[in-house]
Amino acid sequence: MFDNLSLKLDRAFKTLKGQGRITEVNVATTVKEIRRALIDADVNFKVAKEVTDTIKEKALGQQVLIAVSPGQLLTKIVSEELTELMGGTKSEIEIKGDPAVILISGLQGSGKTTFSGKLASMLKKQNRHVLLTACDIYRPAAIDQLKVLGEQIGVEVYAEPENKDALDIAKNAIKFAKANNKKIVIVDTAGRLAIDEEMMQEITALKNGLNPSETLFVVDSMTGQDAVNTAKTFNERLNFDGVVLTKLDGDTRGGAALSIKTVVNKPIKFISTGEKMEAIDIFHPDRMAQRILGMGDVVSLVEKAQQTFDEEEAKRLNKKIRKNQFDFNDFLSQLEQIKKMGNIKDLVGMLPGMGKALKGIDVDDDSFKPIEAIIKSMTLKERQNPDIINGNRRKRIAAGSGTSVQQVNNLLKQFNDMRKLMRTMNKMGGGKRGLANLN
């Protein structure tokens, strides 16, 4: 996410390397580089200028302490200013009413339907009773898409394929929700490829007719400044409450994330980083700024792990590790859990310094495929007792999984090293606490 911007900002800070103090001259050079980095990332020109002027002013107004270098001081200032630029603090959605209505707006293809499913899934995990409503009266496929998502996450979907009145469908959905003890109704609406008057009238009528406690505007971050302009137009008509930025897993440059709050004056509330239902995050401006600056986002990583990891499963694995019984079945189960957490590259990118290190390297879910194929080609006995996997078995497993004997050997070696490490940790007695951290 925002790899290029991170690299360029890093380069900007390097211009201060070896400088003992901040001066008009060296700050001017660095700030110019920062401004260029922001504009290259498709940040609105006016926004980039304003923020860099503030950065310069603050840098010159601060005494450099002995403990920090000018580069470090400037990194801190930039981090604070980027945080401000993106809204300062996180903004919650308003869930009020019986049922509470959340209206989802945006252009076609922005990711509305996918996001509706993700939000429903997130709320369901908080034990809320949610109803999804399909109000796209133009594309029957959109209704099916929402139904598939609903089934996947276990949330009921209300639809009336024959009804061509979106407001009427939504009102019926609310009645249905009341009768069926659903406390939140998420209304997924129709979009067009570009803004048109008819769409604007329809979405405005929905908002006026439903009186939602939260209206969200979903926008594809890959569209850069267009995203900001579309947000502006929608907001003028709809006066929405918050923005959802989607497709941040692609190589977006960051412009939309950094400019929207200033231009539209509405906070970003959620970000979406993939097609999977779990790839949704509440937007934290400070964490995002730290990620952009390559400071990592360990807090988000830990939270994600806590949400996704199945605690019972973690306990079970912990017990097996303590008894030196960890086998390939357990390994496979751990891989599954990691995959559930979302896009692998993004996860690793949350670790400090890793974003940079990973630039240009392709790590994704596919990287796990050969490993899974190898394990799945083992017999149950082999998975439970890898020591019996001799030369002939290795050849058979390689052929069965479409990999090479070399790849099988590598995996077996890694697995053995891992088991050795687990044994050592167990022997050290720090097992209980130490291994708990592994999960």
Residues numbered 169 to 228 that lie near ligand GDP (CB under 6 A) are 191
Q: Which of 70, 87, 99, 106 binds ligand GDP (CB under 6 A)?
A: 106
Annotated binding site: which residue ranges? Answer: 106-113, 188-192, 246-249
Tell me whether strands 268-272 and 280-282 are parallel, antiparallel or unpaired: antiparallel
Residue 250 is a binding residue for ligand GDP (CB under 6 A): yes
Residue 113 is a binding residue for ligand GDP (CB under 6 A): yes
Question: Is the Cβ of residue 217 or residue 331 nearer to ligand GDP in the bound state?
Answer: 217
Torsion of CA 385, 387, 389, 390, to 10 degrees: -160
The alpha carbon of 145 is separated from its chain's Cα centroid by a whole number of angstroms, namely 21
Residue 273 is a binding residue for ligand GDP (CB under 6 A): yes
Residue 108 is a binding residue for ligand GDP (CB under 6 A): yes
Q: Which of 70, 87, 111, 267 binds ligand GDP (CB under 6 A)?
A: 111
Measured CA angle at 245 (ends 243, 246), to 5 deg: 140
Q: Which of 35, 112, 266, 304 binds ligand GDP (CB under 6 A)?
A: 112
CB neighbour burial string for 399-432, b if at least 16 within 10 angstroms, e if fewer: eebebeeebbeebbeebeeebeebeebbeeeebe
Binding mask 136-175 for ligand GDP (x = CB under 6 A): ----------------------------------------
Number of amino acids touching ligand GDP (CB under 6 A): 18
Query: Residues 216, 105: contact at Cβ < 8 Å?
Result: yes
Look at the block and give the residue holding tokens 């999977």: 276
Residue 249 is a binding residue for ligand GDP (CB under 6 A): yes
Residues numbered 6 to 65 that lie near ligand GDP (CB under 6 A) are none
Q: Which of 44, 91, 105, 110 binds ligand GDP (CB under 6 A)?
A: 110
Question: Is the Cβ of residue 81 or residue 346 nearer to ligand GDP in the bound state?
Answer: 346
Residue 133 is a binding residue for ligand GDP (CB under 6 A): no
Residue 274 is a binding residue for ligand GDP (CB under 6 A): yes
Question: Is the Cβ of residue 30 or residue 113 nearer to ligand GDP in the bound state?
Answer: 113
Provide the binding-site residues for ligand GDP, judged by CB under 6 A. 106, 108-114, 191, 246-247, 249-250, 272-275, 279
